[in-house]
Amino acid sequence: MTRPKLAYRHTPGTGPTIVFLCGYASDMQGSKALAIEAWAQANGRAFLRFDYAGCGESEGAFEDQTLADWRDDALRMLDEVVAGPVVLVGSSMGGWIMLLVALARPERVQGLVGIAAAPDFTDWGFSDAQKRTLRETGRLEEPSLYSDEPTVTTRGFWEAGEANLVMTSPIPFDGPVRLLQGQRDAEVPWERAAMLAELIRSDAVQTLLVKDGDHRLSRDADIALILRAVEDIACFSPSF
């Protein structure tokens, strides 16, 4: 079956290409994606941001998509739009997709930057009652902290998440990694960043905790930290 057409913005430049991966129900117009794009353009760096199917400017219906579909959308961007090595920057759910892509294309992924990364959140991010609702009705609707519209999760998305858990065993990635995490994040417990750092096989992993940082990490000081992490990884000399 043909997948929906994806909207994207590609800035040519020197490599590796920095690829931004959005969070759940987000799009490529977010402040972090735009800030990294502006930095990349100012420094002649290759950069790509895009919308998953069913999100933003891309085709498709949101509730028809699953985590596996969005992983495949990211892989399609790597295979069809950009060439050579990439640095993946994953925000929230994008941090999960970042890891799945790194496992699927180890020869392409030079480094990772996770921003409040939320791998495996279908496992730890829902209560037993919410999981029961998803199993029994196929759909969960919850108030959103960031929009007037409710956040919808489908059984298909949840089941795809449970089939693609990555924090159940060591993660075989050997490149440099930076994990930025707010300690006042109401959605991702900050301790999960340390757990993820321990599971990634690479020794070149650094975890940056922002004591007063929330889930979005979109204040000017947070953006400055993110840009430093991106530059650090983009300029890293790979040893693999």
Catalytic residue annotation? 92, 185, 215
Position 29, amino acid: Q
Length of the chain: 240
Alpha-carbon distances of 143 from 103, 149, 178, 189, rounded to whole Å: 33, 7, 31, 19
- Whole-angstrom Cα distance, residue 156 to residue 165? 15
